[in-house]
């Protein structure tokens, strides 16, 4: 693997992930609208939003640290894209090595860290409230998310290679078919909700109370990049769960691709339904939920996986 | 530039700015977001920060306390942005035009692009105003 090949992969998956991510955001907005008996936006809505934001004026607050403020969205997009590239490469070419699910977990925390960096560099009080919530939320959902990762790793013969996990499931049936798999999937779903920043856990960018939180000072293309990060995470997160719990996507036959898209859409619609049927939690409620019930459930799932259930 | 204006017309993000209104116009603005009118089908969403906004929906006579704030919010908005004066008060002062608190109407403070009169204007009137705004943006 040469460096040119890796860069080509990252650029290619960046375009793929942005286009599909914006379509996934549209699915989110459309399903939300239909659930509220509204019509909802047209399919090109998120593309129009992004083009519009890239044409707007880019304001940088006088108190801000310009370097960190401007680079935080770029870091967020890059990290989300690289995480997606790793997963897509595993599914497309079978390029994998022990420990790459740990790499993906690290990469998926970087967008949250970039939000924290950018928000704190903007020097706004509301952004400070937003990032303090984001930090607590990050500490909250990582623990159950890691518990939920250990379950498929244990089920597929104690491996940390994504390809091994997918191969094991294609040979022996998906992890979701077992009791520990179901529990682990539910935990991962809620942790993902926090990672993407969807409604029960969107307190870091609560529009109503703290005016979009960490994003309050962002405008123009920088805001567009943060929106793009969210769109990419909406693809990468469910795709990761498809690989871990539903046996991945086989890209070699049309039937496999259709089945893969259906698996992805099931997880996406589940996330949207959770988003639309829950109110926003306070930060102490969210932390109690993640560190209390969800972590206990996660430990129970790991024990069940250890005894082979 | 043309593509950007087209995208802008398809995705107007509105920020709601009250200059001392009686809350009636504000409630009618929120009516536009309800399932009956649903302005999200035109790509309009309510945003929480003026930095994200393309349209400032201003209601109320501008009272003396609000003048500095409204100028500040207008400066904070990322350009190009459009200012809409909603309701009789924002357009002309309405029944409060002789009041001791009156510092407006709005077009004395910041440049206004569209006036939507009414006390309060119906959501249909606001939608009609937005259609005229889209024609103006060409």
Say if B41 is an interface residue toward chain A (CB within 8 Å).
yes
Say if B101 is an interface residue toward chain A (CB within 8 Å).
no
Above pLDDT 90, what percent of chain A? 17
Cβ contact A219–B52 (<8 Å): yes
Cβ contact B52–A45 (<8 Å): no
Cβ contact B48–A223 (<8 Å): no
Residue in chain A nearest B3 by alpha carbon: A51
In a domain, B3, yes or no: no
Which among B8, B21, B120, B122 is positioned nearest to B70, based on CA atoms?
B21
Cβ contact B10–A48 (<8 Å): yes
Identify all chain A residues contacting B3, using CB atoms and an 8 Å cutoff.
51, 55
In a domain, B2, yes or no: no
Block residue for tokens 């403070």: B109
Model confidence band, residue B11 (pLDDT cutoffs 50, 70, 90): confident
pLDDT for B98: 85
Give pairs for A248-253: CB < 8 Å, separation 24+: A248/A90, A248/A91, A248/A166, A248/A169, A248/A170, A249/A91, A250/A91, A250/A170, A251/A91, A251/A92
Cβ contact B41–A38 (<8 Å): yes
pLDDT for A23: 92
Give residue-wise pLDDT tens across range A61-80: 888 788 888 889 999 999 99
In a domain, B4, yes or no: no
Helix axes of A162-172 and A66-93: crossing angle, nearest 10 degrees: 40
Identify all chain B residues contacting A216, using CB atoms and an 8 Å cutoff.
48-49, 51
Identify all chain A residues contacting B51, using CB atoms and an 8 Å cutoff.
59, 216-219, 223
Q: What is the average per-residue pLDDT within B10-35?
A: 86
Residue in chain A nearest B37 by alpha carbon: A38
pLDDT for B49: 86
Whether B1 has a pLDDT exceeding 70, the answer reads no
Write out the residue range of the structural domain in which residue B43 sits.
Answer: 11-136
Reported pTM: 0.87
Per-residue 3-state assignment (H helix, E strand, C coil) for chain A = CCHHHHHHHHHHHHHHHHHHHHHHHHHHHHHHHHHCCCCCCCCCHHHHHHHHHHHCCCCCCCCCCHHHHHHHHHHHHHHHHHHHHHHHHHHHHCCCCCCHHHHHHHHHHHHHHHHHHHHHHCCCHHHHHHHHHHHHHHHHHHHHHHHHHHHHHHHCCCCCCHHHHHHHHHHHCCHHHCHHHHHHHHHHHHHHHHHHCCHHHCHHHCHHHHCCHHHCCCCHHHHHHHHHHHHHHHHHHHHHHHHHHCCCCCCCCHHHHHHHHHHHHHHHHHHHHHHHCCCCCCHHHHHHHHHHHHHHHHHHHHHHHHCCC
Model confidence band, residue A152 (pLDDT cutoffs 50, 70, 90): confident
In a domain, B27, yes or no: yes
Q: What is the average per-residue pLDDT within A215-238?
A: 89
Nearest to B4 among A41, A44, A51 (CB): A51
- Average per-residue pLDDT for chain A: 86
Q: Hey, how many other C-beta atoms are within 10 angstroms of the C-beta on A93?
A: 12
Cβ contact B54–A56 (<8 Å): yes
Q: Hey, how many other C-beta atoms are within 10 angstroms of the C-beta on A133?
A: 22
Q: What is the average per-residue pLDDT within B88-112?
A: 84
Residue in chain A nearest B78 by alpha carbon: A57
Cβ contact A220–B78 (<8 Å): yes
Task: Give the residue with greater pLDDT, A1 vs A235.
Answer: A235
Cβ contact B51–A219 (<8 Å): yes
Model confidence band, residue B29 (pLDDT cutoffs 50, 70, 90): confident
Give residue-wise pLDDT tens across range B100-109: 888 878 888 8
pLDDT for A40: 84
Report ipTM (2 d.p.): 0.83
Give residue-wise pLDDT tens across range A103-119: 889 999 999 999 898 88
Q: What is the average per-residue pLDDT within A272-284?
A: 88
Say if B43 is an interface residue toward chain A (CB within 8 Å).
yes
In a domain, B132, yes or no: yes
Cβ contact A48–B7 (<8 Å): yes
Nearest to B7 among A51, A211, A219 (CB): A51
Q: How far apart are the first and last CA of chain A?
A: 39
Whether A85 has a pLDDT exceeding 80, the answer reads yes
Say if A59 is an interface residue toward chain B (CB within 8 Å).
yes
Identify all chain B residues contacting A125, using CB atoms and an 8 Å cutoff.
none
- Average per-residue pLDDT for chain B: 85
Whether A252 has a pLDDT exceeding 80, the answer reads no
Does the bond joining B44 to the residue before it have cis omega, within 30 degrees of 0? no
| Measured distance CA(B85)–CA(B69) in Å, rounded | 16
| Token pair belonging to A194 | 């926090």
Whether A203 has a pLDDT exceeding 70, the answer reads yes
Give the count of domains, chain B.
1
pLDDT for A110: 92
Model confidence band, residue A257 (pLDDT cutoffs 50, 70, 90): confident
Whether A100 has a pLDDT exceeding 80, the answer reads yes
Which among A10, A33, A20 is positioned nearest to A228, based on CA atoms?
A20
Q: What is the average per-residue pLDDT within A136-158?
A: 87
Torsion of CA B99, B104, B106, B107, to 10 degrees: 130
Identify all chain B residues contacting A210, using CB atoms and an 8 Å cutoff.
48
pLDDT for A90: 84
Residue in chain B nearest A55 by alpha carbon: B4
Whether A298 has a pLDDT exceeding 70, the answer reads yes
Model confidence band, residue B21 (pLDDT cutoffs 50, 70, 90): confident
In a domain, B88, yes or no: yes
- Tell me, what CATH number does B74's domain have? 3.40.50.12280
In a domain, B113, yes or no: yes
Give residue-wise pLDDT tens across range A15-57: 999 999 999 999 999 998 888 888 888 888 888 888 888 888 8
Give residue-wise pLDDT tens across range B57-82: 888 888 888 888 888 889 888 888 88
Cβ contact A58–B78 (<8 Å): yes
| Measured distance CA(A78)–CA(A83) in Å, rounded | 9
In a domain, B5, yes or no: no
| Token pair belonging to B10 | 């398809």
Whether B55 has a pLDDT exceeding 80, the answer reads yes
């Amino acid at each position: 693997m040469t460096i040119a090949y890796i860069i080509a992969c990252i650029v290619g998956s960046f375009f793929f992930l942005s286009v599909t991510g914006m379509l996934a955001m549209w699915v989110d907005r459309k399903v939300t609208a239909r659930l509220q008996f509204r019509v909802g936006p047209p399919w090109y809505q998120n593309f129009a939003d992004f083009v519009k934001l890239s044409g707007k004026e880019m304001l940088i607050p006088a108190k801000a640290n310009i370097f960190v403020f401007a680079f935080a969205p770029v870091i967020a997009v890059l990290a989300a894209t690289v995480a997606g590239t790793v997963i897509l490469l595993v599914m497309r070419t079978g390029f994998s090595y022990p420990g790459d699910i740990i790499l993906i977990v690290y990469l998926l925390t970087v967008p949250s860290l970039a939000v924290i960096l950018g928000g704190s560099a903007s020097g706004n009080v509301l952004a400070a409230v937003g990032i303090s919530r984001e930090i607590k939320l990050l500490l909250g959902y990582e623990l159950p998310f890691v518990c939920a990762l250990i379950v498929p790793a244990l089920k597929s013969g104690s491996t940390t290679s994504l390809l091994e996990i997918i191969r094991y499931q294609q040979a022996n049936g998906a992890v979701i078919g077992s009791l520990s798999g179901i529990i682990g999937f539910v935990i991962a779903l809620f942790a993902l909700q926090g990672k993407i920043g969807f409604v029960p856990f969107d307190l870091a960018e609560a529009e109503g109370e703290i005016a979009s939180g960490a994003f309050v000072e962002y405008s123009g293309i920088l805001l567009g990049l943060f929106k793009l990060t969210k769109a990419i995470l909406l693809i990468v997160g469910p795709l990761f769960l498809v690989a871990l719990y539903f046996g991945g996507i086989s890209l070699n036959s049309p039937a496999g691709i259709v089945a893969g898209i259906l698996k992805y859409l099931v997880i996406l619609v589940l996330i949207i339904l959770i988003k639309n049927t829950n109110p926003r939690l306070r930060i102490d409620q969210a932390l109690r939920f993640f560190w209390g019930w969800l972590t206990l459930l996660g430990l129970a799932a790991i024990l069940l996986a250890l005894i082979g259930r | 530039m043309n593509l950007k204006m087209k995208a802008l017309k398809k995705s107007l993000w509105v920020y709601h700015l009250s200059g001392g209104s009686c809350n009636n116009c504000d409630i009618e603005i929120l009516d536009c977001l309800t399932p009956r009118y649903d302005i999200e089908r035109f790509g309009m969403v309510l945003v929480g920060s003026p930095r994200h906004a393309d349209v400032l929906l201003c209601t109320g006579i501008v009272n003396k306390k609000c003048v500095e704030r409204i100028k500040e919010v207008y400066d904070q908005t990322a350009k190009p942005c459009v200012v809409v004066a909603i309701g009789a008060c924002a357009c002309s002062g309405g029944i409060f035009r002789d009041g001791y608190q009156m510092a407006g109407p709005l077009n004395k403070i910041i440049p206004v692009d569209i006036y939507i009169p009414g006390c309060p204007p119906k959501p249909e009137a606001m939608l009609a105003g937005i259609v005229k705004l889209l024609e103006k943006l060409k």
